[in-house]
């Protein structure tokens, strides 16, 4: 079976972008009997961006409840929290010792931070942590530990999968054939949703529409999406509209075509937003109910996560790390 791995960083409340870009397609894919799915809560990754412990904790619970509410079946997939698997940081160190620093210098997230510093006339590395710099190595460990074949990603993440291949290959070359080299499964048809301010919707930008915002709040947030100032009756440019992009991610092809026409015919922004709200709410409302019920039972979620990690460690992580420790010349811990 093809092993497919998906993670969400526990850096905030899950939003419509996480749902459309990760949760919905991953759950659909897990129904394929030829796929073995790995879903994890990337809480070590969260520490790179968030230093508020309460936020990380809350986010972990919210993201776990989101996966479960959206139909993840913990009995038929691997579902775990990254920090419950101590083999991940151990493997991160092994990979750090084969990863080229020059390769990490070229990582997009790091380069973007350097560019930002330069634009502000600061030192290149001002306020950049080693955690941010090393992030692709941690991600490589997430992937290589479970010998994932496919990692569904947006275009901006392809580079990180290539780095995981590179680090895995170097390790294999030095120590024997331990890792399957992963491939990026580029999600061409999965949209990147814009946030309230028009930038990519992202937990770190605080520009999100929470997936399970209560109905009234959902409506209010949608009413606040930035639009141009064209009046009702004036034709609108669907392709440059955030409201339209969000609608497209939730509507059928026919509904989308009809809405495109309505934009050309000059639908008012109020009406366009009302239709968008109704479309999203229709899909999300039944899931929201399950989510709220789950959030009221945090101990159950905790037990599911611990059980997933314990089984996964026993089955994959602990035996693999024992082999790797031997391969590199470290003491056998068993």
Token pair belonging to 188: 């061409």
Q: Which span sits near ligand ATP by CB under 6 A: 138-146, 198-206, 237-245, 252-260? A: 198-206
Residue 20 lies near ligand ATP (rule: CB under 6 A): yes
Give the span between the Cα atoms of 68 and 301, in whole angstroms.
Answer: 9
CB 269 within 8 A of CB 237: no
Which range in 12-20, 169-177, 217-225, 309-317 contacts ligand ATP by CB under 6 A?
A: 12-20
Report the distance separating Cα 295 and Cα 287, nearest Å: 12
Contact 197, 242 (CB under 8 A): no
Distance CA 74, CA 68 (A): 8
Q: Does 182 bind ligand ATP (CB under 6 A)?
A: no
**Is residue 259 a known part of a binding site?**
no
Residue 248 engages ligand ATP in binding (rule: CB under 6 A): no
Among 60, 66, 113, 202, the residue binding ligand ATP under the rule CB under 6 A is: 202
Q: How far apart are CA 333 and CA 299, in angstroms?
A: 32
Quick one: which segment of 5-13, 122-130, 220-228, 295-303 binds ligand ATP (CB under 6 A)? 5-13
Which CB atom, from 6 or from 92, has the smaller least distance to ligand ATP?
Answer: 6
Q: Is 18 exposed, middle or buried (0-12, 13-18, 19+ CB in 10 A)?
A: buried
Per-residue contact string for residues 85-114; x = within reach of ligand ATP by CB under 6 A: ------------------------------
Residue among 262, 255, 211, 220 nearest 241 (CA): 262
Among 8, 70, 139, 141, binds ligand ATP (CB under 6 A): 8
105 known member of a binding site:
no
Asked if 17 touches ligand ATP (CB under 6 A), the answer is yes
Query: Does 30 belong to an annotated binding site?
Result: no
Structure tokens at 317: 């992580």
Least separation in angstroms between CB 3 and ligand ATP: 16
49 near ligand ATP, judged by CB under 6 A: yes
Partner residues linked to 221 by β-bridges? none
Minimal distance, residue 311 CB to ligand ATP, in Å: 24
Q: Which stretch binds ligand ATP (CB under 6 A): 196-204, 224-232, 252-260, 262-270?
A: 196-204
- Residue 9 binds to ligand ATP (criterion: CB under 6 A): yes
Stretch that binds ligand ATP, among 19-27, 102-110, 117-125, 209-217 (CB under 6 A): 19-27
Per DSSP (E only), the strands in 177-232 are 183-186
Query: CA 185, 191, 195: angle at the middle one, nearest 5?
Result: 130
Q: Which residues pair with 287 in a beta bridge?
A: none
Q: Would the annotation count 253 as a binding residue?
A: no
Q: Is 239 annotated as a binding residue?
A: no
10 is in an annotated binding site: yes
Task: Please check if 92 is assigned to a binding site.
Answer: no
* Most distant pair of Cα atoms in the chain: their distance: 74
Of the candidate residues 24, 170, 200, 230, the single one contacting ligand ATP (CB under 6 A): 200
- Ranges within 144-163 binding ligand ATP (CB under 6 A): 154
Whether residue 322 contacts residue 332, with contact meaning beta carbons closer than 8 Å, is answered with yes
Query: Which of these segments, 77-85, 202-210, 237-245, 309-317, binds ligand ATP (CB under 6 A)?
Result: 202-210
Q: Taken in order 82, 85, 86, 92, is the CA torsion positive or negative? A: negative
According to DSSP H, which parts of 70-157 are helical?
Answer: 87-96, 101-105, 108-119, 130-145
- The residue (of 37 and 202) whose beta carbon lies closer to ligand ATP is 202
Nearest to 151 by CA among 38, 302, 291: 38
139-149: b or e for each residue (b if 16 or more CB lie within 10 Å)?
Answer: bbbbbbbbbbb
Binding-site residues for ATP sit at 9-11, 17-18, 154-156, 193, 200-204
Provide the binding-site residues for ligand ATP, judged by CB under 6 A.
Answer: 8-9, 11, 17-18, 20-22, 49, 154, 192-193, 200-204
């Amino acid at each position: 079976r093809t092993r497919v791995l998906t993670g969400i960083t526990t850096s905030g409340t899950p939003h419509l972008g996480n749902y459309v870009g990760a949760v919905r397609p991953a759950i659909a894919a897990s129904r394929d009997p030829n796929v073995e799915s790995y879903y994890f809560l990337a809480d070590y990754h969260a520490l790179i961006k968030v230093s508020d412990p309460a936020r990380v904790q809350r986010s972990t619970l919210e993201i776990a409840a989101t996966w479960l509410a959206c139909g993840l079946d913990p009995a038929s997939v691997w579902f775990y929290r990254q920090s419950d698997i101590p083999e991940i940081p151990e493997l991160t160190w092994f990979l750090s010792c084969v990863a080229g620093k020059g390769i990490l210098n070229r990582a997009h997230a790091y380069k973007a931070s350097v560019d930002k510093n330069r634009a502000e006339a600061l030192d290149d590395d001002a306020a950049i942590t080693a955690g941010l710099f090393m992030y692709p190595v941690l991600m490589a460990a997430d992937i290589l530990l479970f010998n994932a074949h496919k990692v569904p990603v947006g275009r901006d993440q392809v580079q990180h999968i290539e780095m995981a291949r590179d680090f895995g290959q170097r390790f294999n070359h030095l120590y024997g054939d331990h890792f399957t080299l992963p491939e990026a499964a580029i999600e061409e048809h999965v949209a990147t949703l814009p946030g309230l301010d028009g930038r990519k919707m992202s937990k770190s930008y605080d520009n999100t529409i929470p997936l399970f915002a209560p109905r009234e709040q959902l409506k209010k947030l949608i009413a606040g999406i930035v639009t141009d100032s064209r009046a009702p009756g004036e034709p609108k440019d669907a392709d440059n509209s955030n409201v339209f992009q969000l609608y497209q991610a939730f509507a059928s092809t026919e509904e989308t075509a009809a809405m495109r026409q309505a934009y050309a015919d000059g639908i008012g922004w109020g009406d366009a937003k009302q239709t968008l709200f109704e479309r999203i709410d229709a899909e999300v409302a039944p899931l929201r109910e399950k989510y709220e019920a789950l959030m009221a039972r945090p101990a159950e979620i905790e037990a599911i996560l611990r059980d997933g990690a314990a089984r996964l460690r026993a089955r994959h992580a602990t035996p693999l790390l024992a082999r790797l420790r031997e391969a590199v010349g470290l003491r056998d811990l068993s």
